[in-house]
Chain A
Amino acid sequence: MVSVPVSTTINSDEVEFLCRADESLLDVLRNRLGLMGAKEGCGTGDCGACSVIMDGRIVCSCLVLGAEAEGRTIETIEGMADGNELHPLQKKFIEHAALQCGICTPGFLMAAKALLDANPDPTEEEIRFWLAGNLCRCTGYDKIVRAVADAAQEMRGKRA
């Protein structure tokens, strides 16, 4: 099978790669670009562990083809912190003990960032439904919801 050349932007960097036409964006990120923060929990778009933001929209990278990244802007967990300065969501996840094993954490953080980018002041119900595409088996979601709400509050304070 002939490879497809792709030019895209990942975490503000211009990136070029070759991939097979049937290769998922998740496999490209993990196997070709060394961006292993996105995880494969199911490969069928049911668990959200591979969540990335593409052109401002949260997607399961296992359901996007690598070739579809052409000309797009992609954000992954590796680009969430500003150097050594963690994003407020990252800080709050640690502070609230919102992770146990941590395998779902990159996906949750990307989904939560997409939420707060779209809605800086979500209700608990909005947080719960927005994050319903991300599975966590360890925490029962309680501390995740609290961390997201707390981060939203802190970010609103900074904006004001």
Chain B
Amino acid sequence: MNFDPTYRSQKFRSVGTRPRRPDGIDKVTGRARYGADFNMPGQLVGRILRSPHAHARIVRIDTARAEAVKGVKAIVTASDLPDLTNGNQSLFNILDNCMARSKVLYDGHAVAAVAAIDANAAKQALKLIEVEYEVLPHVVDVDAAMLPDAPLIDKTLFTGGVEPTPETPSNVALRSEFGHGDIESGFAQADIVVERSYRTEQTHQGYIEPHACVASCNSDGTAELWVCTQGHFVFRQTCADLLGLDVSKLRVTSSEIGGGFGGKTHVWVEPVALALSRKAGRPVKLVMSREEVFRASGPTSATSIDVKIGARKDGTITAAAANLRYTNGPYADIWAELGAMTSFACYDLENVKTVGFEVLVNRPKVAAYRAPSAPMAAFAVESTIDELAQELGMDPVEFRIQNAASEGTKSSYGPVYGPIGIGPTLEAAQSHPHVKAPLGPNQGRGMACGFWFNFGGQTCTDLNVNVDGTVTLAVGTVDVGGSRASLSLIAAEELGIAYEDVKAVVADTATLGYNDMTDGSRGTFSSSMATISAARNAIGVMRHRAALQWDIPVEDVTWEDGNAKASGEKYGNLSPLSIKEIAAASGNTGGPIAGHSEMVADGAGVSFATHICDVEVDPETGSTRIVRYTVIQDAGKAVHPAYVEGQYQGGAAQGIGWALNEEYIYGEDGRLQNPGFLDYRIPVCSDLPMIDTQILEIPNPNHPYGVRGVGETSIVPPLAAIANAISNAVGIRMTHIPMSPPRILAALNRERNQ
């Protein structure tokens, strides 16, 4: 059936309320089952042996002594995961990352795996696997990796996106460029130009649940995988490709997910668990330790960024440019490209140019982390904008309002914007009581803006009307933060029934059509669009059934508030048929009632936020405390406002950790020195104040209810907002993230000694 996704203004009954989430009781009683909470009969314990070297050739692996350990049932190395990738480089990179083939490329790279009857046997076997390495020179720093004499990660890599292609290999995988106009003439028109260089260190998503799965391969080629993932359909495809399984024969069930933030969009141990199970002939449970999570999964890019912005005295930006260098880990991806696209997305610029460089280093493969690549670019740009406003003697909010993008602006990365929220969030900031509140000694205030694209993507949903008139909604996007509640609200709204009469579940890969991952803030956006479509299809069926019961033409049956109604005076004596009555009669009117929906959910509305932050800097220790924090963000339409606020607060908290504490610290030997929560310190409860939120609703014209994704943008502004606040508090411009006490103290001491 044709589905019209166009936004139509309406008065909502369910959407916008704050009911209890359907998975709440399971999660407060300990009953919810996460990745590590599932067991199968005869299950073995899997463990992985990881490289202690940042870069080395694997000369020899001898597993004989390990195989002799009592209780060991299977050992796999790269030879047990033959290359079936058929020239697909990105798939090969996933395979090579799951199990190193000829070289190990970072500290923590997997080289072998064991399945044994218990953890002790598995651990003992790991110790007895002999790996002979030829250690190679390594490089972990982004700028050092770009130098001509840097150790090469991949000797066959020649920079793409450059004409002509270079004749010598390098660690720069790809150059990308965005923008329009002529920046040289733009800078020539400027009265003031500010040019600065920035660095940000590598951070981890820091989900509290380590990666975990249970894999079971049968001798008939069928297999099952229970796993914590942001996208079980994508995991199914990747695992089937890497193991040579038929997609239909691999059934993947997503567990409850204990945080992902992008880090669970990639397979890490799952293909290895399947390979172990295939070899052992028994199910295998493989759970990463926290140390493994840090060393071998997830992190975001470390970056080095140059920004140059020019403006006239009247406050008009005349030109803006950025050069962005992002670590990718040892495999080429598009992280700098995303940074280059998002850098100046908040502004209406005549002349703009951004250039991104993907840089390979001996660090773990970079994974998406909430609005991936945008926070670092925003840190550099929004810090420079702040300094420029200062030089111009303008209020930083007013300066941004004057240059903000609006409907019709050609964005710095290409598309022309529809209705957007950057202007409104800035205006809300301007009139927010926070900006007028008094500041104490050593305190300062900063603000910054952020942007994220939001994605849509392939989505499939089933809506079943049960015989008692209640509804079961099966979706294929993993619920990472309350989407079963928001999608139940959407179904209730469209059908005109109570929220409590809808039960939403995340279906496994065998029972629903393909869905892309829950990424790009797409979960509620795309699955709600598919749910509305499925509900409308179910309503179509129910109108038809009512028409049959009444023996009138279906065109004369309308749907209002959960009831079929016969329209027109000639049917004056027909009382409405409720969904319960239609469902109860369904066995005699044509059978079960369902609505299905398959679509590519296009038109995810772009998202903008403005954050305001007060800090207090201790001049003796360099320690920074967040005193007050306000998030203002456009949600399009907040389906379940409590969980929208939760997304705003959670993203801000992650950004605060990134800004002030979190970083990967490598030794001279290229080994990660802080792979644990003690030394990689994420914000704890006593570090933070309440995080105030203001939800703006500028409807997305491409969604029936106006919904935009809300999950990611909130992590984009904090780095710059806090840097700007620190600058305001103590008069020093911090250009290196994290702004940890030693860095701030060093900057204060430099200032004092000048």
Contact = CB atoms under 8 A, between A and B. Distances in A.
B481 A101 contact: yes
B714 to A, nearest CB: 9
A48 to B, nearest CB: 9
A68 interface: no
B265 to A, nearest CB: 15
B290 interface: yes
A95 B312 CA distance: 52
B42 to A, nearest CB: 15
B162 interface: no
Given A101-B259, A143-B646, A41 B25 contact: no
Nearest to A99: B27
B interface, by DSSP: helix, strand, loop or mixed?
Answer: loop
Interface in B180-228: 205-210
A41 B208 contact: yes
A93 B23 CA distance: 12
Contacts of A109: 28
Contacts, number: 175
Nearest to A111: B685
Contacts of A41: 208-210, 258, 290, 677
Contacts of B32: 102
Contacts of A94: 20-21, 24-25, 28
B348 to A, nearest CB: 32
B226 to A, nearest CB: 14
A136 B21 contact: no
Interface in A97-114: 97, 99-106, 109
Given A42-B677, A99-B28, A138 B209 contact: no
Contacts of A134: 684-685
A78 B36 CA distance: 17
A90 B650 contact: no
Nearest to A127: B685
A115 B654 CA distance: 26
B290 A135 contact: no
A89 B297 CA distance: 34
Interface in A65-106: 76-78, 80-81, 86, 90, 93-97, 99-106
Given A90-B28, A132-B685, A137-B206, A103 B34 contact: yes
A1 B206 CA distance: 35
Interface in B673-720: 676-678, 682-688, 690-691
Contacts of B28: 77, 80, 86, 90, 93-94, 99, 102, 105-106, 109
A135 B676 CA distance: 13
Contacts of B20: 94-95
A101 B646 contact: no
Which of A100, A140, A141 has the most B CB atoms < 10 Å from its CB?
Answer: A140
A143 B205 CA distance: 21
A63 interface: no
Contacts of B649: 139-140, 142-143
Given A47-B208, A103-B34, A97 B643 contact: yes
Contact of A102 (B258, B260, B261, B654): B258
Range of interface residues on A (Cβ < 8 Å): 35 or more
B643 A37 contact: no
Contact of B36 (A40, A46, A93, A95): A40
B208 A103 contact: yes
Interface string A10-21: 000000000010
B259 A137 contact: yes
Interface in B321-347: none
Contacts of B687: 132
B94 to A, nearest CB: 25
Contacts of A36: 30, 33, 37
A97 B27 contact: no
Which of B33, B258, B643, B653 has the most A CB atoms < 10 Å from its CB?
Answer: B258
B732 interface: no
A134 B210 CA distance: 16
Contacts of A135: 208, 677, 682, 684
A16 B697 CA distance: 57
A95 B690 CA distance: 18
Contacts of A137: 205-208, 259, 261, 650, 654, 682
B614 to A, nearest CB: 16
A46 B27 CA distance: 21
A97 B676 contact: no
Contact of B652 (A20, A136, A140): A140
Contact of A78 (B23, B30, B37, B120): B30
B388 to A, nearest CB: 30
B257 interface: yes
A104 B208 contact: yes
A142 B689 CA distance: 8
B127 to A, nearest CB: 16
Given A101-B258, A135-B208, A138-B481, A39 B646 contact: no
B18 interface: yes
Interface in A129-155: 129, 131-145
Given A44-B678, A94-B24, A100 B481 contact: yes
A81 B29 contact: yes
Contacts of B299: none
B435 interface: no
Contact of A46 (B289, B677, B685, B688): B677
B30 A49 contact: no
Contacts of A39: 34, 36, 208-209, 258
A109 B25 CA distance: 13
B691 A140 contact: yes
A38 interface: yes
Contacts of B25: 86, 90, 94
A122 interface: no
A97 B207 CA distance: 18
Nearest to B714: A140
B107 interface: no
28 contacts: A38-B30, A39-B34, A39-B36, A40-B210, A46-B676, A80-B28, A95-B20, A97-B482, A97-B642, A100-B646, A100-B650, A101-B480, A103-B207, A109-B28, A127-B685, A128-B688, A132-B686, A137-B206, A137-B259, A140-B649, A140-B652, A140-B683, A141-B688, A142-B649, A142-B688, A142-B690, A143-B642, A144-B685
Interface of A: 1, 20, 30, 35-44, 46-47, 49, 76-78, 80-81, 86, 90, 93-97, 99-106, 109, 125, 127-129, 131-145
